[in-house]
Amino acid sequence: MGVRIIGTGSYLPEKVLTNKDLEKLVDTSDEWIVSRTGIKERRICSDKEAASDLGIKAARRALADANVRVEDIDLLIVATITPDMFFPATACIIQTKLGIKNAAVFDLNAACTGFIYSLSTAQQFLQTGTYKTALVIATETLSKITDWEDRNTCVLLGDGAGAAVLRKQKGDSGILSCYLDANGQYGDLLNMPGGGSRIPATVATVKNRLHYLKMRGNETFRIAIPEMTKSVKRGLEGCGLNIEDIALLIPHQANIRIIKALAKRLSIPIEKVFVNIDKCANTSAATVAIALDEANRQGRIKEGDIIELVAFGAGFTWGSCVIKW
C-alpha cells in the first residue's frame, strides 16, 4: 500500500504585476530582475482576497481532479506563513467555507518548505490508518507582507495557492520517501520581525516597517544551494534511488540561478527540472504545490514516473519528497 497524490489543483490571482510595473515603484529594471532572478512577472491578489480565498479555489480544483467529495476529507493541513489572521487557523476558516465536517484540521508553518512538510505529515497519518483522505493546501498572499519600498525583496515575491488530495491505495505507487530538516540558527536571515509576541504591533512597529518580510538575500542564496542539493540526495537515499531515476525534479522557485546551480551540482539535465519562476515568482509554501499541479496538468508527469519535490525556506527549513506517480 502506498500513500498517493490522487489529485492536484492550483489557483493564481488574476492581477499580473510585471517587472515594468515594479520599475515605477522602486529603483530597479526589468533587465536586472530577469538576469539576477529569472522572474518576469508575478500574480498579486486583490485587497479583498486572503490566504483562505486562494486556498479554497486551489482545493476545489484538486478535489475535482481527484474525484473526491468534500465529505470524504478527514484530514486538512494548510501550509502558510500568511494566514488570514493569527487565529483561528486558516485551516479552520477553509474547513468551514468548503463544508468539511468531522476532520482534523491545522495550519503548518515551515515557510517555503511548508508543502513538503505537510505532505510528509499527511503521509504519516494515512499510512498508519488514522485518517483516510487528506487535503493538503499551500496558500500564500505574500504581497500583504511585502515592503513595496524595498527593492531587495519586493521583486522576488508573488501570491498563489496549490493543493493535493492524498489517499492510501494498493500498489507500489505513492510517496516513497521524505527528508525534512531545519536549522533555526539562521532565523535572522529571513523573517518578519513584528506582530508576534516578541515585538507586538504598535504604532512604532508599523512606522519602522517591522510587519514586512526581511531577507538577507545573498547569504540565504548561498545556504539554499547546498542544502537543496543535499535534500535531493537524501530523499533518493531514503528509497534507494539515483538521480538518473528522476523523470522530473520540481524545486522551490526562489531564483533561477539557484535552480540552475542545483541542476548542475546534481548533474541533472535542466529539461528534467520544472521551472515556472518567470510567471509565478516565489510564493513561499505555495510554490512547489503550484508547480506540481502545473506539471501534472501539462502532462509532464506520467503514471509510474519518479518525481522529486525539493524546497528551502525561512527557519531555515528544507526538505524533499520522492514520489512514484
Ligand X SMILES: CC(C)(COP(=O)(O)OP(=O)(O)OC[C@H]1O[C@@H](n2cnc3c(N)ncnc32)[C@H](O)[C@@H]1OP(=O)(O)O)[C@@H](O)C(=O)NCCC(=O)NCCS
Question: Which amino acids are annotated catalytic?
Answer: 112, 252, 282
Work out whether 258 is an interface residue with ligand X (CB under 6 A).
Answer: yes
Cβ proximity to ligand X, 258 vs 263, nearer residue: 258
Question: Residue 55 CB, nearest distance to ligand X (Å)?
Answer: 19
Work out whether 221 is an interface residue with ligand X (CB under 6 A).
Answer: yes
Contact in structure between 292 and 315 (CB atoms under 8 Å): no
Window of 47-55, 168-176, 194-202, 251-259 that interacts with ligand X by CB under 6 A: 251-259
Provide the 10 A C-beta neighbour count for residue 198: 7
- Residue 214 has phi, psi (to 5 degrees) of -120, 135
Work out whether 212 is an interface residue with ligand X (CB under 6 A).
Answer: no
Distance, in Å, from the CA atom of 272 to the CA atom of 247, rounded to the nearest integer, reads 6
Provide the 10 A C-beta neighbour count for residue 252: 30
Is residue 182 classed as helix, strand or coil in its secondary structure?
strand
Work out whether 261 is an interface residue with ligand X (CB under 6 A).
Answer: no
Contact in structure between 64 and 2 (CB atoms under 8 Å): no
Question: Residue 234 CB, nearest distance to ligand X (Å)?
Answer: 18
Work out whether 37 is an interface residue with ligand X (CB under 6 A).
Answer: yes
Maximum alpha-carbon separation in the chain: 58
Position among 13, 38, 313, 315 found at the interface with ligand X (CB under 6 A): 313
* Per-residue mark of binding to ligand X, 150-169 (x: CB under 6 A): -xx--xx-------------
Work out whether 283 is an interface residue with ligand X (CB under 6 A).
Answer: no
Cβ proximity to ligand X, 71 vs 149, nearer residue: 149
- Sign of the CA dihedral 245, 236, 275, 60? positive
Work out whether 75 is an interface residue with ligand X (CB under 6 A).
Answer: no
Contact in structure between 287 and 12 (CB atoms under 8 Å): no
Cβ proximity to ligand X, 285 vs 301, nearer residue: 285
Window of 6-14, 26-34, 68-76, 175-183 that interacts with ligand X by CB under 6 A: 26-34
Work out whether 230 is an interface residue with ligand X (CB under 6 A).
Answer: no
Contact in structure between 185 and 314 (CB atoms under 8 Å): no
Window of 27-35, 44-52, 82-90, 203-211 that interacts with ligand X by CB under 6 A: 27-35
Work out whether 325 is an interface residue with ligand X (CB under 6 A).
Answer: no
- Work out the burial of residue 185: count CB atoms within 10 Å of its CB; fewer than 13 is exposed, 13-18 middle, 19 or more buried: exposed
Residues numbered 84-143 forming contacts with ligand X, rule: CB under 6 A? 112
Question: Residue 128 CB, nearest distance to ligand X (Å)?
Answer: 32
* C-alpha cell at position 248: 522530473
Work out whether 320 is an interface residue with ligand X (CB under 6 A).
Answer: no
Query: What one-character DSSP code corresponds to residue 200?
Result: -
Work out whether 220 is an interface residue with ligand X (CB under 6 A).
Answer: yes
Q: What are residue 179's DSSP bridge partners? A: 320
Window of 7-15, 84-92, 217-225, 301-309 that interacts with ligand X by CB under 6 A: 217-225
Work out whether 255 is an interface residue with ligand X (CB under 6 A).
Answer: yes
One-character DSSP codes across 156-180: TB-EEEEEEEEEEESSS-EEEEEEE
What is the b/e burial string over 89-107, where b = at least 16 CB atoms within 10 angstroms of the residue's CB?
Answer: bbbbbbbeebebeebebeb
- Residue 49 has phi, psi (to 5 degrees) of -90, 135
Work out whether 217 is an interface residue with ligand X (CB under 6 A).
Answer: yes
Interface residues with ligand X (CB under 6 A)?
28, 32-33, 36-37, 112, 151-152, 155-156, 190, 217-218, 220-221, 224, 254-255, 258, 282, 312-313
